[in-house]
Amino acid sequence: MIFRVQYRRTSGGLYQIRGAVLRSGGTTYTGWYTITNAAHAIEIVWQSASTASFGLYIDGSLKQTLSGLNTNAYRLDSVRLGPSAGLASGMSGTEYYDAFVSSRNSYIGP
Percent of the chain with pLDDT over 90: 51
**Under 8 Å between Cβ of 79 and 100:** yes
What CA–CA distance (Å, rounded) separates 43 from 54? 11
For the stretch 43-84, pLDDT in tens is 998 888 999 999 999 998 999 999 999 999 988 888 888 777
Nearest to 45 by CA among 10, 26, 71: 71
- pTM for this structure? 0.83
The residues pairing with 4 across neighbouring beta strands, listed in sequence order, are 20
- Parse the chain into domains and list their residue ranges: 3-69
